[in-house]
Amino acid sequence: MTEIRFPSMNLEGRVAVVTGAGQGLGLWMAQGLVHAGADMVIAEINPQAGEAAAEAIRRTGKRGLFIETDVRREDSIRGMVDRVVKEWGRIDILVNNAGVNVRKKAEEVKPEDFDEVAAVNLRGVYFCAQAAGKVMIQQRQGKIINIASAAGFLVRAGIPNSVYSVTKAGIIMMTKALAAEWSPYNINVNAIAPGYFATPLAAPRLKDPKAWQAIMDSTPLKRVGKAEDIVGPVVFLASDAAAFITGACLLVDGGRTVL
């Protein structure tokens, strides 16, 4: 019988950073990583939400640190990473979750709309990865997980999502490029592409009966995602169990992209 070293998804002793972790997917993923054993840095632009999330983590007995971070600004990103390294000595896991959207028809999108979405969703992800990547290169190990979207793979009739889709598709290719470049340093770079989840951001659309029916019609599993549906994939990709996976994009969408 072949001897196997069975991998673990235990993250004890790891330092994780999640951007935009004050609510929604980011908060759920942060909670999931903490449950798996990681100490958590909440990199969030909203001070009230960020500190509340960090305090909830500290109540579990794990280390929780809130750092006010604006991913649109490189100095804010660098300051966040420098503080994590100064206080905790390392960064093992980065989840690039912070994101925004502007739902306008393509002919109505203004340059400032495009710049805002791209600054957070694409530029912010790139420079957060760069800053953490420099630390991980010195460590000779790390896990970066970029949050893309099903919208990076497909469009749906009647949903004006052009700028958002461009940025999320860009994240998927960025993930591949960084995975190839940083593989010599034992850094795994992967992405997760969620479909519809029951988050505060999606709440207005999910309450609209027509929108709800359209979502159900285009989702084979006939439901939207819950917290546990995103927690499992992010913990897996952050753990040793995913050591041989890099440059991949895991679709977590209830089958939305197969239709």
Provide φ and ψ at 115, rounded to 5°.
-65, -40
Dihedral through CA 109, CA 203, CA 96, CA 123, nearest 10? 10
Sign for the pseudo-dihedral over CA of 157, 163, 164, 166: positive
Among candidate residues 126, 164, 185, 196, the one labeled active-site is 164
- For residue 126, indicate whether it is catalytic: no
Q: Can you tell me the distance from the alpha carbon of 213 to that of 229, in angstroms, rounded to the nearest whole number?
A: 21
* Helix, strand counts (H, E) of the chain: 9, 7
Environment class of 210 (CB within 10 Å of its CB; exposed 0-12, middle 13-18, buried 19+): exposed
What tokens were used for 98? 């912070």
**Cβ neighbours around 44 below 10 Å, total:** 31
Task: Give me the count of residues in the chain.
Answer: 259
Active site residues: 164
